[in-house]
Amino acid sequence: MSSLYPLKFDPIFKDKIWGGNKIHTILHKDFRPLPNCGESWEISAYADDISIVNQGHLVGKRLDDLIEEFKGQLVGERVYNKFGNKFPLLVKFIDANADLSIQVHPNDEVALKRHNSFGKTEMWYIVQADEGAELSSGFKSPLTRQQYLDNFNNGKLMDMLNIEKVKADDVFFLPAGRVHHIGKGCFLTEIQQTSDLTYRIYDFDRTDDNGNKRELHTEESLDAIDFTYHDQHKTLYEDKINEVVTLVSCEYFTTNKLHFNQPFDRDLSNLDSFIIYVCMEGGLKLEYDEGFVELTKGETLLLPAAIDKITLTPVGEFKMLESYIA
């Protein structure tokens, strides 16, 4: 066994025009001195936002440096061969104290051509939602590019969107190209490709402290939108206890939900990938050959690929997301 172990990182807090205080009140994270916190980046190796280890003998090390040092032992040989020193996922909590902009993310092809970047396919897991909270995902009826343009130019963007009421434990998968927005009162976990590319379509005419509106990306977004119609936008799943329930499985990541009230032995020897665990409720002890680490609500952990057998022991019970590259 290498000197790798299950890694926790300092959150990277983001002050947003629409941010609130749930990252503190629900997850007990201290984002001072920020006035609010719209996002807590839990694991990131994007641009200058690099996660830094906060426990164990690797404390103070940057995630990108660890990948360079440990390579496939950390991320998996297959994953390293594909992505090299780039960490392929970004995990964050998002607190929408006001509506986020209506937006779309480009796919890999568009992102590479325009920005030399990954695209942004993502998923949302609703941690908490205020009564009446909504979000949008996709269009509510089939429409062509021209019909979209006509409606958009006539100020009828909102009329085209599929609006969903949300509650805790709801899941939404948003492939790149799907128009969407997070509505006021939604508090969620986002698992996504490592990218921060967002084309803002509409921002509710809001202004910043200086009276300036945020930039819109009308032309860029038009070429990024996938107009394919889908009649089901919420991910349907059965919340089974003491079983691994797959929520999303796509080429960019697989995410499972683990809801357990009894110890669980997990054999990961066939995976050949790092795993990201995000504890949504309760707490647990994660044991491996060389020791153990405890995880509580709101904490995120990176399990190196070199650790391929673990035991998860609940403290009471826990709900946790498990994400990896399949």
pLDDT tens profile 84-138: 999 999 999 999 999 999 999 999 999 999 999 999 999 999 999 999 999 999 9
- Using the 3D structure, point to which of 224, 254, 273 is the last residue of a domain: 224
pTM: 0.96
Whether 180 maps to a domain, the answer reads yes
- My answer on whether 273 and 318 are in the same domain is yes
- Give a yes or no: residue 232 inside a domain: no
Q: Give the range of the structural domain holding residue 121, as residue numbers without chain letter.
A: 12-224
Q: Give residue 9's pLDDT.
A: 98
Q: Which residues contact 309 (CB under 8 A, 6 or more apart)?
A: 265, 266, 267, 268, 269, 288, 289
Q: What is the pLDDT of the chain when averaged over all its residues?
A: 96
54 & 117 share domain: yes
The tens digit of pLDDT for each residue in 199-250 reads 999 999 888 878 898 899 999 999 999 999 999 999 999 999 999 999 999 9
Does 5 map to a domain? no
Q: For residue 154, is it within any domain?
A: yes
Considering the domain architecture, whether residues 204 and 272 belong to the same structural domain is answered as no
At 48 the pLDDT is 96
Res 122: pLDDT: 98
Residues 168 and 307 in one domain: no
* Residue 25, domain member (yes or no): yes
CATH number at residue 193: 2.60.120.10
Q: Residue 64 pLDDT more than 50?
A: yes
Residue 199 lies in a domain: yes
Give me the pLDDT at residue 146, please.
96
**Residue 208 and residue 248 in one domain:** no
Same domain, 32 and 172: yes
| Same domain for 75 and 126 | yes
Indicate whether 44 and 145 sit together in one domain.
yes
Domain boundary among the residues 159, 194, 224 is at: 224
**200 carries an active-site annotation:** yes
Q: What average pLDDT does this structure show over 248-261?
A: 98
Looking at the structure, tell me whether residues 119 and 23 fall in a common domain. yes
Q: Is residue 4 part of a domain?
A: no
Q: Which of 32, 114, 178, 200 is catalytic?
A: 200
Asked which of 224, 253, 288 is the last residue of a domain, the reply is: 224
Residue 300 pLDDT class (50, 70, 90 cuts): very high
Structural domain total, the chain:
2
Percent of the chain with pLDDT over 90: 96
For the segment 149-193, what is each residue's pLDDT rounded down to a tens digit?
A: 999 999 999 999 999 999 999 999 999 999 999 999 999 999 999
**In the predicted structure, residue 2 carries a pLDDT above the cut 80:** no
Looking at the fold, whether 102 and 193 belong to one and the same domain comes out as yes
Kindly state whether residues 320 and 219 are assigned to the same domain. Answer: no
Residue 235 lies in a domain: no
> Quick one: 214 and 303 in the same domain?
no
pLDDT at 1: 40
